[in-house]
Amino acid sequence: MDMRLRDLSIRAKVLVTGLGALLFVLGVGALASFRYWEREQFALTAEHAVLAARALRPGIEGALAHGQVGAARRQLDALVARPPAAGYRVVLNDGRVLVASRRPEEGLPRSGTPLPDPWDIPTDGLTLRGRGESAASVVVPLAGVGGGRATLELLLDTRRINAAIRRGRSFGLALTTVLGIAYAVVLGLMLEREIMAPLWQLKAGLARASAGEAGVRVGLERKDEFGRLGASVDALLAKEERSQQLAVTRGRALAEQAGFAQVGALAAQIGHEIKRPLAGIQSAIELISQEYAMSDGERGLLTRVEDQLQQVDRTVRDLLSLAKPVGLNAQPAHLSSIVDAALVRVSGTPGADHVTVIRGYDPADPELVVDSGRLEQAVTNLVGNAIEAMPEGGVLRVTTRPAEGGQELVVADTGVGIPPKNIDQIMKPFFSTKPHGTGLGLALVARIVEAHGGRLWVESQVGRGTTFHVILPPTPPASQGATP
């Protein structure tokens, strides 16, 4: 299979590169060490041989000068009896062998590579190395031999040196192999822990995020490059989540806006069709109440008819308010004053006299930049719903307190509560659990709060009551300035 290095996995690339570099360094180092050791061993052996030859040189020169070849031979035989010398020759100036460890060579010209001229050999001796593993010798000049100068050649046995070098090479190769395996194991473990594990963690996190899992974070708690990469990936995932949430929010807003536009068109048409008959009926009721004498029962019936007409008129106005974009006429105001005004408005509604209202306002009571009219309408709806939730009477607590740089309004009742299945539905237009409800009140409250840049949420327990929370910032968003 044709596979290039770049096609391998990161683990394989690091292992191949690391092992290759290690083997190259160890191989070059071992080769250089062996070469140096070989030269040093040979030089040391040759030095020992030279010292031995120089020590024997006076005795050999004296014996040969007096023609005592046997005495010289005995001294030389004693020298080559122990390593590193393996043989000897005394070569005259004319190239003939005078004395040799191999006697057949005596009297014959020396064969092989010619020796240097005796006059060119230093007094301290000279080391010669020819071809082959054992072709090495030491030459020392001899004076007064054969009427001139001669050369003492000691043949060195380098086989022991070469055998030791071969053993060293084998040991070095084995050591290199063991070190390479150990290095591969250590490198693999470090690679798995320091590189592959973070990569798998990154891959797993991205796979979960790609599968649509929410809130996924890689969570690489490291201070190296992988830690910085993990932090960047987490930041991208968080940004992507925010983008998705914003897209969902915008999609819902567009859908609601489209629905509100349809409601607006319908409300405008209904308003034109209903308002004129309502005005006529209202005028007729006023005329009847002024021109005709009626009993208390008849006047009560007429009052109920008038209340129903007002309810229809409020429904039409809520439809129109819900359909139109919420524009704010924002001015500085105290939240406590707005709440008091809303409580006054609902004080005359049915059931209000059976409810105990407990106020708890923030002592600082800072000014907020709000549309007092819109906000009073929202608070009126919340308080009105709370009163309707307590048909047998109860306690209504209205509290303001600091929150998130602005103010939080809390409207809590001890009424019937809201079933959990309805919590997410109650602020949608036209959703209502009341027999005669339109489902527009809380939807309008939510729009007014959102227009102020605030938040609205509800907590409820069936049979124990409901609590609405409204958080308002100090000022509305820039897009919601003072709008008439």
Write the pLDDT tens digit of every residue in 438-448.
667 788 888 88
> For the chain, what is the radius of gyration of the CA atoms?
56
Same domain, 335 and 316: no
What are the b/e assignments for 70-96, b being 16+ CB within 10 Å?
eebbeebeebbeeebbbbbbbbbeeeb
pLDDT of amino acid 338? 92
User: What is the distance, to the nearest Å, from the Cα of residue 69 to the centroid of all Cα atoms in its chain?
Assistant: 90
Residue 186 burial (10 A CB sphere; 0-12, 13-18, 19+): exposed
Q: Are 412 and 467 in contact (CB under 8 A)?
A: yes
Identify the band that residue 268 occupies on the pLDDT scale cut at 50, 70 and 90: low
- Residue 456 and residue 336: Cα distance in Å, rounded? 18
Task: CATH number of the domain at 308, please.
Answer: 1.10.287
- Check residues 131 and 140 and name the one with the higher pLDDT: 140
Kindly give, in sequence order, each residue whose CB lies less than 8 Å from that of residue 444, ignoring residues fewer than 6 positions away. 318, 321, 322, 377, 378, 381
- Residue 136 and residue 113: Cα distance in Å, rounded? 11
pLDDT of amino acid 189? 81
Q: Is residue 109 part of a domain?
A: yes
Same domain, 242 and 159: no
Q: Is residue 449 part of a domain?
A: yes
What are the b/e assignments for 396-409, b being 16+ CB within 10 Å?
bbbbbeebeebbbb
pLDDT of amino acid 335? 92
Q: Is residue 211 part of a domain?
A: no
Identify the band that residue 478 occupies on the pLDDT scale cut at 50, 70 and 90: low
pLDDT of amino acid 275? 64
Last residue within a domain, chosen from 301, 324, 347: 324
Same domain, 64 and 122: yes
Same domain, 32 and 157: yes
pLDDT of amino acid 1? 43
Max mean pLDDT range (44-53, 113-122, 320-329): 113-122
pLDDT of amino acid 483? 44
Percent of the chain at pLDDT exceeding 70: 79
Lowest mean pLDDT among 166-170, 339-343, 456-460: 166-170
pLDDT of amino acid 79? 82
Q: What is the pLDDT of residues 247-258, one digit of tens each?
A: 766 666 665 666
Identify the band that residue 399 occupies on the pLDDT scale cut at 50, 70 and 90: very high
Last residue within a domain, chosen from 290, 324, 358: 324
Q: Is residue 423 part of a domain?
A: yes
- The first and second tokens of residue 33, run together, are 């060490």
Percent of the chain at pLDDT exceeding 90: 11
pLDDT of amino acid 482? 47
Same domain, 298 and 384: no
- Residue 198 and residue 221: Cα distance in Å, rounded? 10
Q: Total domain count for the chain? A: 3
Identify the band that residue 426 occupies on the pLDDT scale cut at 50, 70 and 90: confident
Same domain, 9 and 141: yes
pTM of the model: 0.43
Same domain, 417 and 385: yes
- The first and second tokens of residue 405, run together, are 């740089």
Same domain, 335 and 463: yes
- Tell me the average pLDDT across 377-383: 89
Range of the domain at 388: 326-472
pLDDT of amino acid 340? 92
Last residue within a domain, chosen from 324, 359, 380: 324
Q: Is residue 174 part of a domain?
A: no
Residue 343 confidence (pLDDT) above 50: yes
Q: Is residue 183 part of a domain?
A: no
- Tokens 């006047």, residue? 299
Mean pLDDT over the full length of the chain: 79
